[in-house]
Protein backbone atom coordinates (compact mmCIF):
# COMPACT_ATOMS: atom_id res chain seq x y z
CA UNK A 1 0.00 0.00 0.00
CA UNK A 2 2.74 2.47 0.86
CA UNK A 3 4.52 1.90 -2.45
CA UNK A 4 1.47 3.01 -4.45
CA UNK A 5 0.86 6.18 -2.46
CA UNK A 6 3.97 8.24 -1.87
CA UNK A 7 2.44 10.62 0.71
CA UNK A 8 1.21 7.70 2.82
CA UNK A 9 1.91 8.12 6.54
CA UNK A 10 1.76 4.75 8.30
CA UNK A 11 1.43 6.14 11.83
CA UNK A 12 -1.49 8.38 10.87
CA UNK A 13 -3.13 5.43 9.15
CA UNK A 14 -2.69 3.22 12.21
CA UNK A 15 -4.06 5.94 14.50
CA UNK A 16 -7.04 6.40 12.18
CA UNK A 17 -7.76 2.67 12.28
CA UNK A 18 -7.58 2.70 16.08
CA UNK A 19 -9.90 5.73 16.18
CA UNK A 20 -12.48 3.92 14.05
CA UNK A 21 -12.34 0.93 16.38
CA UNK A 22 -12.63 3.21 19.43
CA UNK A 23 -15.86 4.57 18.00
CA UNK A 24 -17.14 1.00 17.51
CA UNK A 25 -16.35 0.19 21.14
CA UNK A 26 -17.95 3.42 22.35
CA UNK A 27 -21.13 2.67 20.41
CA UNK A 28 -21.29 -0.94 21.62
CA UNK A 29 -20.71 -2.49 18.21
CA UNK A 30 -17.65 -4.24 19.63
CA UNK A 31 -16.74 -4.99 23.24
CA UNK A 32 -13.06 -5.44 22.41
CA UNK A 33 -11.17 -4.09 19.44
CA UNK A 34 -7.53 -4.04 18.41
CA UNK A 35 -5.20 -1.55 16.87
CA UNK A 36 -3.16 -2.79 13.96
CA UNK A 37 0.20 -4.26 14.98
CA UNK A 38 2.54 -1.33 15.63
CA UNK A 39 6.31 -1.57 15.37
CA UNK A 40 7.82 -1.25 18.85
CA UNK A 41 10.13 1.47 17.54
CA UNK A 42 7.10 3.56 16.45
CA UNK A 43 5.12 3.08 19.64
CA UNK A 44 6.59 6.09 21.52
CA UNK A 45 5.43 8.38 18.70
CA UNK A 46 1.95 6.88 18.55
CA UNK A 47 1.20 6.01 22.17
CA UNK A 48 0.23 9.47 23.48
CA UNK A 49 -2.05 10.12 20.51
CA UNK A 50 -3.61 6.69 20.87
CA UNK A 51 -4.51 7.35 24.51
CA UNK A 52 -5.84 10.79 23.56
CA UNK A 53 -8.10 9.40 20.83
CA UNK A 54 -9.33 6.58 23.06
CA UNK A 55 -10.04 9.06 25.85
CA UNK A 56 -12.15 11.13 23.47
CA UNK A 57 -14.35 8.07 22.95
CA UNK A 58 -14.33 7.01 26.62
CA UNK A 59 -12.41 3.86 25.74
CA UNK A 60 -9.63 2.24 27.76
CA UNK A 61 -6.34 1.19 26.21
CA UNK A 62 -3.98 -1.58 27.19
CA UNK A 63 -0.89 -1.99 25.04
CA UNK A 64 0.36 -5.54 24.73
CA UNK A 65 3.97 -5.79 23.61
CA UNK A 66 3.56 -9.56 23.31
CA UNK A 67 0.15 -9.88 21.68
CA UNK A 68 -1.55 -13.25 21.77
CA UNK A 69 -0.60 -15.31 18.72
CA UNK A 70 -3.47 -17.16 17.07
CA UNK A 71 -4.76 -18.12 13.67
CA UNK A 72 -5.67 -14.44 13.34
CA UNK A 73 -2.09 -13.23 13.85
CA UNK A 74 0.86 -15.58 13.73
CA UNK A 75 3.69 -15.33 16.25
CA UNK A 76 6.28 -14.51 13.59
CA UNK A 77 4.10 -11.68 12.24
CA UNK A 78 3.83 -10.17 15.72
CA UNK A 79 7.54 -10.19 16.52
CA UNK A 80 8.75 -6.69 17.36
CA UNK A 81 5.20 -5.34 17.35
CA UNK A 82 2.69 -4.18 19.94
CA UNK A 83 -1.09 -4.20 19.73
CA UNK A 84 -3.40 -1.87 21.64
CA UNK A 85 -6.51 -3.46 23.09
CA UNK A 86 -9.45 -1.07 23.10
CA UNK A 87 -12.34 -1.73 25.51
CA UNK A 88 -14.78 -0.18 27.98
CA UNK A 89 -15.47 -3.14 30.24
CA UNK A 90 -12.49 -4.27 32.32
CA UNK A 91 -13.82 -7.84 32.05
CA UNK A 92 -12.79 -7.87 28.40
CA UNK A 93 -9.16 -7.24 29.36
CA UNK A 94 -9.40 -9.89 32.07
CA UNK A 95 -10.79 -12.42 29.57
CA UNK A 96 -8.01 -11.59 27.12
CA UNK A 97 -5.33 -12.06 29.78
CA UNK A 98 -6.88 -15.39 30.77
CA UNK A 99 -6.77 -16.49 27.15
CA UNK A 100 -3.06 -15.62 27.04
CA UNK A 101 -2.53 -17.74 30.16
CA UNK A 102 -4.49 -20.59 28.60
CA UNK A 103 -2.30 -20.52 25.49
CA UNK A 104 0.84 -20.57 27.65
CA UNK A 105 -0.49 -23.56 29.59
CA UNK A 106 -1.14 -25.41 26.32
CA UNK A 107 2.39 -24.58 25.19
CA UNK A 108 3.77 -25.80 28.53
CA UNK A 109 1.88 -29.06 28.02
CA UNK A 110 3.85 -29.62 24.82
CA UNK A 111 1.39 -28.54 22.16
CA UNK A 112 2.92 -27.08 19.02
CA UNK A 113 2.42 -23.37 18.27
CA UNK A 114 -0.07 -24.29 15.54
CA UNK A 115 -2.04 -26.45 17.97
CA UNK A 116 -2.02 -23.70 20.58
CA UNK A 117 -3.19 -21.18 18.00
CA UNK A 118 -5.98 -23.46 16.84
CA UNK A 119 -7.13 -24.09 20.38
CA UNK A 120 -7.43 -20.45 21.42
CA UNK A 121 -8.53 -18.82 18.16
CA UNK A 122 -12.29 -19.46 18.61
CA UNK A 123 -12.23 -17.83 22.05
CA UNK A 124 -10.29 -14.84 20.72
CA UNK A 125 -12.73 -14.49 17.84
CA UNK A 126 -15.56 -14.53 20.37
CA UNK A 127 -13.91 -11.79 22.45
CA UNK A 128 -13.55 -9.69 19.31
CA UNK A 129 -17.20 -10.23 18.38
CA UNK A 130 -16.48 -12.12 15.16
CA UNK A 131 -19.48 -13.99 13.74
CA UNK A 132 -19.44 -17.75 14.01
Helices (H) and strands (E) in the chain, counts: 5, 4
pLDDT given at position 37: 94
pLDDT tens-digit profile of 74-113? 988 999 999 999 999 999 999 999 999 999 999 999 999 9
DSSP class per residue in 74-129: -HHHHTTEEEEEEESSHHHHHHHHHHHHHHHHHHHTT--HHHHHHHHHHHHHHHTT
Model confidence, pTM: 0.91
In this predicted model, what pLDDT tens digit does every residue of 53-80 receive, in sequence order? 999 999 999 999 999 999 999 988 999 9
Do the beta carbons of residue 2 and residue 10 sit within 8 Å?
A: yes
Radius of gyration of the chain (CA): 15
Amino acid sequence: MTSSYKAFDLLSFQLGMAAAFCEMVQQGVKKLALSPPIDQKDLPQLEKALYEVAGHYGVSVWIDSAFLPSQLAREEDLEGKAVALLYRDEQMLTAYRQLKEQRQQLKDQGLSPAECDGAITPALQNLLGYPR
